[in-house]
């Protein structure tokens, strides 16, 4: 057995205890982990300093170093996150549905933990704590494989949380961190079939590609968000302006930010110049009709329309109809979040019915597709796939179901 | 674009129409397909005769030839299956849940079709019709890749159904059959990412292995059923006898048949000789304790305990406790269906809570884990994985959900 398999087996053994743990015990463990994290802030910061120093020395960009860097406030925020998860409802044990068959068999579908959740993630040491908290609350063991850049921080955080969980009487292997951060270890990690019940990758396109190529364990893809806002002919243009500005600029670096603006030709001449002024500081690239309406707008290629900029840049197209807008979204969208601004009921209805995405939004910003904004309290990611989980993944999406069938001697005729 | 991709694109285009089709239109198409199938029975049987003749000529076993062979009754049964699916409730459009956020955003989670369902299957030409019916009713296009042995039958059945669906006004590409049955085509089929929304393999271990190695499209595994019946110390032994005999012998070749019998040592001396007599014709292999109680019982190796015999053969172990029974199931079970026979409430509760399987059964036969027996009306398979679908997969499991978010201008602060 390799060291990696041995780690997986420890997580699996812990997952069996966690599946039976009461909500009260899990919440106590989360709070114990949070308390210890704050208490050991100095240890965590010292370990983090090693990662930060190495990053700075190797010429890492300031943005990436900032993501990596912890301070007392960020450690406190991690602890607050754990306490917040402790306060959420426990999905385990929910009776999803149930019925009695004509032969008297009673069937219930009960929510149960998945088992071992594997997570491969990049930078941001807070994921270690956030992921461990969500997994534990949903009765799963967290089997974590972070990046080499954050390894020292991750080891320190994991050690503190493991100690905290154990203090509260839960297995310390509720959190198992893989310390080998080689690329080979990532590949072997995604092939631990029988040991990882669900893999949730948190990373960019190259990680997703590696998973599609190598993974043999079940996974949920947290993919790109090439999100559109379509301003319909019947839109309230003031509302549309506020929504477009919010969707594009409130936090451009995240997956639910808008990347592309589609405007119905009937309102383009009025709306686009206003939008361009309001989107001051955003680099706009557009089709020829849009460019004719906004001085200085660059030309958008198909590549631009297909790109998730994650930056203050936006592609713009003028469309002759709702159908053309939906065709554009079908061609370039990534199935994350698509919004329409309209006062027309039939347009809203067609858009929500016909556009194929995790979230379809009428008269609101794309930025709401988020576990917290949806009311889940926390999220492990946003699924852009259709199987198992679609959209923001909260605690419920970290569970599966089991059929419990109860009879009094029934046999099949 | 390859011919296979072109086929996938046709299925995808049809899936967009199907997603919007009314229940009435889908039901009419299913009935039109059923009617035409019966009407064209002679054509279907003539095509089937080509497959049967080729199979016989190449020395295929009688069992396999029988699975392949159609007659008027089997064609009528396929048509009846389509009519039965037409009579089931449509899962599409179900509002799974919904709520309003403090900012006034209204969020609903709505059931929608997956899109294109890919199915790779072996022999049994009736799968062509059954799968097409379930996919169409759930608003999905069926993209089917059957075996070379049944290709002539499959082409005939698909042609009739496509014509029937089109007569009723739905796209004929609601069913697209891949006519290239080479192994390479199967591999490329499971890599049509972006064209297949969910792949459901219907086949043996080598197909599953190929999918784990090659698939890049999302899939649901319909795996082995190494199902156990555990006869507890507190079991009603008459009930246990009826259940064991039914679970093992009522239809030994299917995945929900029992393969292994575990008996608590407190009742083994009384129960096992009775069970051995009642299981007349079943080859029993057991551990040393079981062998001491039943004359002539063969020795069971670990391989036997791990094997899904799908035949009149059963492994037997005597266990000292409920915990030992559950340990045995954890070690050898395949997560399909596990049954306990007991009158003890605590044992029943522990078994259903702690045993990790798609279905856990108390005091009934394992044979009930089945879409029809669960009341789903029909099934596309039985999932032994934990993501998306677990246990019998009916129409609901061929759908996904979409969040519909409705506001009146909300933006994120």
Reported as a single tens digit per residue, the pLDDT across A334-364 is: 999 999 999 999 999 999 999 999 999 999 9
Strands A381-383 and A391-393: antiparallel
DSSP count for chain B of H helices, then E strands: 16, 16
Which residues of chain B form CATH 3.40.605.10? 3-223+389-405
Of A385, A403, A412, the CB nearest to B359: A403
CATH superfamily, with its number, for domain A3-223+389-405? Aldehyde Dehydrogenase; Chain A, domain 1 (3.40.605.10)
A residues 52-91 lying closer than 8 A (beta carbon) to B = none
Strand pairing class (B337-341; B359-364):
parallel
From residue B362, alpha-carbon distances to A167, A199, B147, B367 in Å are 36, 32, 38, 12
pLDDT reported for residue A403: 98
User: Looking at the predicted structure, is the pLDDT value of residue B1 above 90?
Assistant: no
Q: B374 touching A, CB under 8 A? A: yes
- Decide if B366 touches A, using CB distance below 8 A: no
The ipTM, to two decimals, is: 0.94
Interface of B with A in 289-318 (CB under 8 A): none
pLDDT at residue B117 above 80?
yes
How do residues B238-261 score in pLDDT, each as one tens digit?
999 999 999 999 999 999 999 999
pLDDT at residue A186, as a whole number: 94
pLDDT band (50, 70, 90) for residue B200: very high
User: pLDDT tier at B98 (50, 70, 90 boundaries)?
Assistant: very high
First to last CA, chain B: 46
Chain A positions touching B196 (Cβ under 8 A) are none
Considering only CB atoms, which chain B residues are within 8 Å of A386? 114-115, 197-198, 218, 400
Can you give B189-248 as a three-state secondary structure string?
HCCCCCCCCEEEEECCHHHHHHHHHHCCCCECCCCCCCEEEEECCCCCHHHHHHHHHHHH
- B111 interface with A at CB cutoff 8 Å: no
Start-to-end C-alpha separation, chain A: 46
CB contact residues (below 8 A), chain B span 146-185, against chain A: none
**pLDDT at position A222, please?**
83
DSSP summary character for residue A219: B
A391 shares contact with chain B (CB less than 8 Å): yes
pLDDT average, residue stretch B394-407: 97
Please indicate whether, in this complex, the C-beta atoms of B361 and A407 are within 8 angstroms of each other: yes
At residue A171 the predicted structure's pLDDT band, cuts being 50, 70 and 90, is: very high
What integer is the mean pLDDT of A59-68?
A: 91
Nearest by CB to residue A250, choosing from B99, B362, B412, is B412
Q: Distance (Å, rounded) from C-alpha A119 to C-alpha A176? A: 11
Name residue, tokens 């003028």: A318
Which of B387, B388, B394, B400 should be substituted to probe chain A, the one whose Cβ sees the most A Cβ atoms within 10 Å?
A: B387
Tell me the chain A residues in contact with residue B193 when contact means C-beta distances shorter than 8 Å.
212
Token pair of A405 as six digits = 């069938």
The answer to whether A360 faces chain B, any CB pair under 8 Å, is yes
Q: What percent of chain B clears pLDDT 90, i.e. is strictly above it?
A: 94
Q: Which CATH architecture has domain A227-372?
A: 3-Layer(aba) Sandwich (3.40)
Instruction: Choose the closest CB to A362 out of B216, B354, B407.
Output: B407
Query: How high is the mean pLDDT of chain B?
Result: 96
Q: Which of A16, A216, A365 sits opposite B410 (nearest CB)?
A: A365
* pLDDT for the residue A205: 85
pLDDT value for B203: 85
Residues whose CB falls within 8 Å of the CB of residue A311, separated by 6 or more in sequence, listed in order: A252, A253
Interface test with A, best of B364, B370, B385 (most A CBs within 10 A): B364
Say whether residue A375 is in contact with chain B using an 8 A CB cutoff: yes
Instruction: Assign A249 to helix, strand or coil.
Output: helix
Cα–Cα separations (whole angstroms), residue B10 to A119, B162, B198, B214: 36, 13, 16, 23
* CB contact (8 A) between residue B411 and residue A365: yes
- Give the residue on B whose Cα is nearest the Cα of A216: B212
pLDDT tens sequence across A361-386: 999 999 999 999 999 988 999 999 99
> Is the pLDDT at A70 greater than 90, yes or no?
yes
Show residues of chain A in contact with B258, CB under 8 Å.
none
pLDDT digits (tens, 9 = 90+) for A3-25: 999 999 999 999 999 999 999 99
The pTM assigned to this predicted structure is: 0.93
More confident of the two residues A222 and A261: A261
Confidence (pLDDT) at A353: 94
Chain B nearest CA to A387, separation (Å): 5
Greatest Cα pair distance in chain B: 79
Selected residues 257-286 of chain A with any CB under 8 Å from a CB in chain B: none
- Which ranges in chain B are annotated with CATH 3.40.309.10? 227-372
> Chain A closest CA to B401's CA: distance in Å?
7
Q: Dump pLDDT digits (tens) for B205-228.
A: 889 999 999 999 999 988 889 999
B360 CB neighbours in chain A (<8 A) are: 402-405
Is the pLDDT at B147 greater than 90, yes or no?
yes
B99 pLDDT band, cuts 50/70/90, is very high
């Amino acid at each position: 057995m390799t060291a990696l398999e041995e780690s997986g087996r420890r997580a699996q053994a812990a997952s069996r205890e966690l599946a039976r743990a009461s909500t009260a015990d899990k919440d106590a463990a989360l709070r114990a982990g949070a308390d210890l994290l704050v208490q050991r802030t100095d240890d965590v910061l010292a370990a983090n300093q090693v990662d930060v120093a190495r990053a700075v020395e190797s010429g890492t960009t300031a943005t990436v170093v900032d993501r990596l860097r912890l301070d007392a406030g960020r450690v406190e925020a991690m602890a607050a996150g754990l306490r917040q998860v402790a306060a959420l409802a426990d999905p385990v044990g929910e009776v999803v549905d149930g019925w009695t068959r004509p032969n008297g068999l009673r069937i219930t579908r009960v929510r149960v933990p998945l088992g071992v959740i594997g997570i491969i993630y990049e930078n941001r040491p807070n994921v270690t704590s956030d992921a461990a908290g969500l997994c534990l609350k949903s009765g799963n063991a967290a089997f974590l494989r972070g990046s080499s850049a954050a390894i020292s921080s991750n080891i320190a955080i994991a050690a503190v949380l493991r100690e905290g969980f154990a203090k509260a009487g839960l297995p310390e292997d509720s959190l198992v961190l893989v310390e080998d951060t080689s690329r080979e270890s990532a590949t072997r990690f995604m092939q631990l079939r029988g040991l990882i019940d669900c893999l949730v990758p948190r990373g960019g396109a190259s990680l997703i590609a590696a998973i599609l190529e190598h993974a043999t364990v079940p996974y949920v893809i947290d993919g790109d968000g090439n999100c559109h806002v379509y301003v319909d002919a019947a839109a309230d243009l003031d509302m549309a302006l506020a929504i477009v500005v919010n969707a594009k600029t409130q936090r451009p670096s995240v997956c639910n930010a808008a990347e592309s603006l589609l405007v119905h030709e009937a309102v383009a001449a009025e709306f686009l110049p206003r939008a361009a002024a309001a989107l001051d500081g955003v680099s706009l690239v557009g089709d020829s009709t849009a460019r004719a309406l906004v001085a200085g707008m660059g030309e958008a290629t198909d590549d631009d329309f297909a790109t998730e900029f994650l930056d203050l840049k936006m592609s713009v197209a003028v469309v002759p109809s709702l159908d053309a807008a939906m065709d554009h979204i079908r061609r370039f969208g990534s199935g994350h979040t698509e919004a329409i601004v309209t006062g027309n009921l039939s347009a809203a209805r067609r858009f929500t019915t016909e556009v194929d995405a995790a979230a379809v939004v009428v008269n609101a910003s794309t930025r709401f597709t988020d576990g917290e904004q949806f009311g889940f309290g926390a999220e492990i990611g946003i699924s852009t796939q259709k199987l198992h989980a679609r959209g923001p993944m909260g605690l419920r999406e970290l569970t599966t179901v089991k059929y419990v069938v109860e009879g009094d001697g029934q046999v099949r005729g």
